Amino acid sequence: MLLVSESLMPELVTTAKEAMQRITQARSSGETIGLIPTMGALHDGHLSLVQAAKAECLFTVATIFVNPTQFGPDEDLDQYPRTLEQDMEALAAHDVDFVFSPNASEVYPSGFSTYVDPPDVAKPLEGEYRPGHFRGVCTVVLKLFNLVPADIAYFGEKDYQQLLVIRHMARDLNLPIEIRPCATVREPDGLAMSSRNAYLSDDERRQALALSDSLALANDLVANGETRSASILDEMKRVFKKAGIENIDYIALADPDTLQDVPAITQPTQALVAAHVGNTRLIDNRRIG
Amino acid sequence: MLLVSESLMPELVTTAKEAMQRITQARSSGETIGLIPTMGALHDGHLSLVQAAKAECLFTVATIFVNPTQFGPDEDLDQYPRTLEQDMEALAAHDVDFVFSPNASEVYPSGFSTYVDPPDVAKPLEGEYRPGHFRGVCTVVLKLFNLVPADIAYFGEKDYQQLLVIRHMARDLNLPIEIRPCATVREPDGLAMSSRNAYLSDDERRQALALSDSLALANDLVANGETRSASILDEMKRVFKKAGIENIDYIALADPDTLQDVPAITQPTQALVAAHVGNTRLIDNRRIG
């Protein structure tokens, strides 16, 4: 374990007022401000966002907030891993300027009732299987953009639809911030990094490879000349069956901008999968074609 | 007619980019920025907002945009008065720094599909009679706040529910802007100033006094000891009948923060009325008790 002395820890800010004071000061110094919104339980995927921010911003802020409004009633809000101490150490190692981790009552005060009604691109895929999810995501992301006004915000391509939803929201609501996508970070065997991987048993961890394997297969099929979506989807489904995963939410080949299904791979296409491995719901995606 | 020379006219800005450049410059000079969002057809009510802004802000911006998304399909979007030249002259006389009047395609680009789902206080009264109205209002106001980031935004108490809705939205979404209410400006005989008064015939103009008269009566009744809402509402209704106005949307005595009906006037209460005078829908309100 890497020992980090207290003095190297980024400052932990929990109130909107303090966060705004620090941002205002950084802004008045003319520093470009980078924002990395997270729900904590940080892994190398998150840290790659921090690295991208550090590379282009003089002042970087990570937020850690497990946002209740983006979890459905039967989802894993209570179980979601909370590892603030380790998260702070990881962020210290990457030298972020401060960490904003507000209480739920600070973010959702009594009487709160205004939401963002998300853009059309929120409707398919995750939108069908997690009703209300993107409403919660858009609302909290807009709130964080206002609480910690930054020049550039960093989001992982691992949550591809979320990235699109936030980009469309930013365009539609004229948000004065750039949305910067960062490539998915994977384990050596291909599994996309996710805080939810911590839920997996050893057996489930092996099964979970079906997600990235099916995407790799789709990529190979297209590289070898297959263009018919139906055939590719069948082959992908077979990967899940073989791994013993029965509970698939979706396997999709979609337009990368609209997420509408495409019947044939005639141009770059987003392959997206979501499935339950044991009790853990995982998602992954990859650009193919 | 007051002649205003070209050189005194405020600059008319129509693109988001130009508006942001001017705001960024004002901000870097440390000037407090005041925003007055309007739909044009300016009257003394609007100009009182400009005066309030000039009194506390070094830099003031008025916006003129007839927002299509806040009009219902059977409402007066096409007929709404557009008087840009006179509006510019009036704003020149009040020395605003620039006027932002974007095209609809700049505000609602192709693919636009993200809205603000307004707070609970949008549900009664106007919310019942103009479904979708506050969704459009909140969305465009949030967009204007992002397009022309200001420190303080000025709204008239004439549109009392709108003021509450915007205040709740600003609180709920952590918008970094102060919402400043300004008192309703009235004609000498009491009629609240409204761009829609221009629609009224001479007869209708006389009938329209029922709105402000009914509010004055409610105020008098309470001053004389009446506390029962039902009795006060009956008396108010009689004022409309007497004026020959049959088409009343609502007459309400409500909590000033929640707009829920109150059965008795035991503390300061908002009296609100909405009625159709001929083909013109008018609203008014007043604090009583």
A76-102 confidence digits (pLDDT tens): 999 999 999 999 999 999 999 999 999
Which residues of chain B are in CATH 3.30.1300.10 domains? 195-288
Q: What is the mean pLDDT of residues B249-253?
A: 98
CB contact (8 A) between residue B146 and residue A176? yes
CB contact (8 A) between residue B119 and residue A142? no
- Residue A121's pLDDT is 98
Taking only the tens place, the pLDDT of each residue in B134-183 is 999 999 999 999 999 999 999 999 999 999 999 999 999 999 999 999 99
Residues of A whose CB is below 8 A from B173: 114, 116, 139, 142-143, 146
**For residue A177, what is the nearest residue in chain B, using CA coordinates?**
B146
CB contact (8 A) between residue A173 and residue B119? no
Q: What would the CATH number be for the domain defined by B6-182?
A: 3.40.50.620
Mutation pick from A100, A174, A258, A259 vs chain B, by most beta carbons of B within 10 Å, is A174
Query: Dihedrals φ, ψ of B42, to 5°?
Result: -70, 140
- Residue A200's pLDDT is 98
Cα separation, A229 vs A263, whole angstroms: 5
Kindly report the average pLDDT of chain A as a whole number.
96
> Residue A233 above 70 pLDDT?
yes
**For residue A166, what is the nearest residue in chain B, using CA coordinates?**
B114
Q: What is the mean pLDDT of residues B36-46?
A: 98
Q: What is the mean pLDDT of residues A194-198?
A: 97
Q: What is the mean pLDDT of residues A272-285?
A: 98
CA distance A87 to chain B (A): 26
Cα separation, A90 vs A82, whole angstroms: 14
- Per the CB < 8 A criterion, the answer to whether B190 and B259 are in contact is no
A276 tagged catalytic: no
> Residue A4 above 80 pLDDT?
no
- What band does B259 get if pLDDT is binned at 50, 70 and 90? very high
- Residue B3's pLDDT is 55
- Residue A8's pLDDT is 79
The CATH topology of domain A195-288 is: Pantoate--beta-alanine Ligase; Chain: A,domain 2 (3.30.1300)
Which residues of chain B are in CATH 3.40.50.620 domains? 6-182
Pick from A109, A114, A116: which is nearest to B114 by CB? A116
CA distance B169 to chain A (A): 6
Cα separation, B209 vs A25, whole angstroms: 52
The three-class DSSP label of residue A25 is helix
- Residue B8's pLDDT is 79
Complex-level ipTM: 0.95
CB pairs under 8 A between A and B: 78
Taking only the tens place, the pLDDT of each residue in A236-259 is 999 999 999 999 999 999 999 999
pTM: 0.96
**For residue B105, what is the nearest residue in chain A, using CA coordinates?**
A172
> Residue A2 above 80 pLDDT?
no
Cα separation, B183 vs B157, whole angstroms: 5
